[in-house]
Structure 1
Amino acid sequence: MTPGTPGPQDPTGPARPTEPYEPDEPDEQRTARLLEGELRLQGRVMPASNATFVAEIDGARVVYKPVRGERPLWDFPDHTLAGREVATYELSVATGWDVVPPTVLRDGPHGPGMVQAWQESDPEQSAVDVVRAGEVPPGWHHVFDGLDAADEPVALVHEDTAALRRMAVLDVVANNADRKGGHVLEMADGHRYGVDHGLTFHEEPKLRTVLWGWAGEPLLPDEVAVLERLEADLGGDLGERLRRWVTPLEVVAARARCHALLDDGHLPGPGEDWPVIPWPPF
């Protein structure tokens, strides 16, 4: 594959929505629609590791992940992934960057679960891709080298755009342990949405991502301003809201990550104490 061609997609990614949620709606209005309308199932996404359904609310397509369909994990408490998805949406709203589509926790046909507004990605774009080794195109960042299914040397790369970089910053604060390439949805207008945030907010370092291209780069002025606001808000109203979905210690850890980012002044690089790339990377 080459950048700009369709790449591997998230299973909750491209499909034809009955009616998309309007991106210009206020957040309160969008989440109210998700919370209040009747949720009708349309089908199940079989490749997903946790039970994931395509559904419809008031004629608009959504993704529904019931809590009881979450697969147990050794390092995250059981039945907490849906709440972590909502917490990451709350964090995204607080940044003002609109990285995460509207997300709520509500009842559904299979019990309480995460419900998220569907986003139609552009099949002509690929924000994270695989190219021949040594052939990273201009405007893209190299992440790592490997071998493809035919044992040919390849490189995983991602675009160098403001929208994707904001996602990378959000992932650091949320401590996202599962930023795969397929968890990035490319919008036709250049915006980038991140999805599948069940593995976030752990109090221990867990950052696993394919978006390492900015490692070690200085924070930009707008990133500093957002992180300063987040650090303050996590000690106030935002922190209180997040405690509905994650533990108090996990909120404290998120605030500490903001402080550490601001104190260092650079985006972090891969650590040495845990795997830093999710597998598979897409």
Structure 2
Amino acid sequence: MTLIENVNDLRAWRRTAGKVLFVPTMGALHDGHATLVREARKLAGKEATVAVSIFVNPLQFGPNEDFDRYPRTLEADMALCEAAGADMVFAPPVKEVYYPDRSIQILEKSLSTVLCGASRPGHFDGVCTVVAKLFNLVQPDESVFGKKDYQQLAIIRRMVRDLDFPVTIHGVETVREADGLAMSSRNRYLSADERAQAPALRAALVKARDAWRGGVTGSSRLLSLIHEHLASAAPLGREDYVSLVDQQTLQPLELARPGSLIALAVFFDRARLIDNIELDK
């Protein structure tokens, strides 16, 4: 497996890389990321190339968020990528990605105004800008994203559509711990008591999905089930949002139907955890 840390070497690599499957990450990798790399490897087969980026993007962190303390674990990340089947890792410093006097960025004005974007203004503009740059640098044919950050996945799909990137986007199911908690680099911030309560996020979502399957369609009732479960099973948590939305537009819905999504974000002290569940069947 090859490690590349600057743009000139990346461009030289790309000239002979052939078909590329790309997995963009911010590092601090866990088995959820390994699943994305393995999926890319599966899609690539023996002939195509799997590339992973490891870059903690400063543009998607707000002024009071955890950019400085976000884990940097390149050596362990490299080992995970290689074991999962990656052929190349692009791990540039910030100066290789952004000029100090940069003045251009991508703005998203619809899908990013709800859910996580409502309380993190500018976050998804930073995501779009870095992913667009990485797509331009790596020039992948296909790219793999996890469904845990469903809003990010929807926004990247919209960006690819609106800006005509020749990249096929694949969404991969969320990887979970044995107790249902979605794997996240931020889980390491949880105290023992918080970690014990965090699986309530998944349990609350499943409870609402089961109610929908049983005939409950009203948004207020479905979301009340989640509020009640979290209040009881995760008293250390503080809700940021709980919403019923359309999977593609992310706009709020009054009635759940196939193609809906219930998404939530909950703070445990400074650790902000997200999760979601699709209502499809």
Scaled by the length of structure 1, the TM-score of the pair is 0.28
Higher-Rg structure is: 2
Scaled by the length of structure 2, the TM-score of the pair is 0.28
